[in-house]
Amino acid sequence: MEIVRSHRQLAAEAAAGVGCGGGGGGAGGLPTYRVAPQLEVRLEEFELFAIDRLRVLKGIADGLSRGKRPEEMEKLVVSLVVTQFRCNISKALVLTNRKWTATIKEQENDRLTPIVEALSNAYFGPDYSQLRENHHLKHGGRMQFGLFLKGAGLKLEDALAFWRAEFSQKVGSERFDKEYAYSIRHNYGKEGKRTDYTPYSCQKIISATPGVGDHHGCPYRHFGEDNLRAALNKMGISGHPLEDIMDKVKNRHYQLACTMTFEAEHGVSCDTGINHPNQYFSESQKVLKAKVSHHS
């Protein structure tokens, strides 16, 4: 493919006020082509690529408008691209795993299956009943669970009431107001730098290392096998689906295990994969609402 003008020429013309409406540069000084790129891409895929690029460009524009420095912009762009890449990889893993399990694994039992299972070993949940039992969670648990509740739609006033009802049973209302209420308001952007914090993603939770006495984290990554099996049994998951989930956990495919749990619990496919606890929650709500409307 042949680009009509170089980016350097375009930048010079843009600085001189030439290009937009001047014939050839295109709106915003984007490069144009004499011959269309010869790529075998379906329209749907092209639209997805375009949307992904727009997301990155919008993030850059927002960062520049807030006066971010070059090093901050670099981190922003990396974050935007990596997040989208992880989502795409997660979806691809789910679809690949489903096809492999359904059609290929048994056919290639003597040839590819041992190789794939060996390769899988090379790639690298919180139990909030503790809050109800002990009426307390350490800082990490309060952050992870509190931001999850915020993402699920819990308002600040309701969050304060929820945590006060639990913690006051152990530390008293006065101590709660002095030592814990501030951090809850802080998570909602009402204290300190007034940053509006967002819930933790699966990747952030999986990569964390809960300490002694903590009760947060990813159940697939941080639970022992017996505890995880017990938790899944409480969700009504047993037999072959349970063993498939445990197999993914042993091979460190924690998000695949979570996706399979969702599918086993709800009886529906989740082709996008699970990338976030709040996604699990929102997708569950959709399934439950659909079942309610179907029966009503």
Contacts 24+ apart (CB under 8 A), 174-181: 180/142
Q: pLDDT of 124-137, one tens digit each? A: 344 445 666 677 88
Give pLDDT, residue 229.
93
Higher pLDDT, 32 or 169: 169
pTM: 0.57
Q: Would the pLDDT of 31 be above 60?
A: no
Measured distance CA(251)–CA(257) in Å, rounded: 10
The per-type count for the chain, helices as H runs and strands as E runs, is 15, 0
Evaluate the CA torsion angle 80, 85, 88, 94 in order and state its sign: negative
CB of 188 closer than 8 Å to CB of 157:
no
Maximum Cα–Cα distance for the chain, whole Å?
74
The per-residue b/e assignment along 23-33, b for 16 or more CB within 10 angstroms, e otherwise, is eebeeebeeee
Amino acid identity, position 13: E
Averaged pLDDT for residues 50-74: 74
Give pLDDT, residue 26.
43
Give pLDDT, residue 68.
74
Q: Would the pLDDT of 146 be above 70?
A: yes
User: Which of 4-8, 29-33, 72-76, 271-275 has the lowest average pLDDT?
Assistant: 4-8
Measured distance CA(95)–CA(296) in Å, rounded: 33
Q: How confident is the model at residue 167 (pLDDT cuts 50, 70, 90)?
A: confident
Q: pLDDT of 265-295, one tens digit each? A: 999 998 888 999 999 999 998 888 888 777 6
Averaged pLDDT for residues 172-187: 91
DSSP 3: B
Amino acid identity, position 119: L
Amino acid identity, position 210: P
Instruction: Report the chain's C-alpha Rg in angstroms.
Output: 25
Averaged pLDDT for residues 97-103: 64
Give pLDDT, residue 261.
94
Cβ neighbors of 281 (< 8 A, separation 6 or more) are 148, 151, 152
Q: Would the pLDDT of 198 be above 60?
A: yes
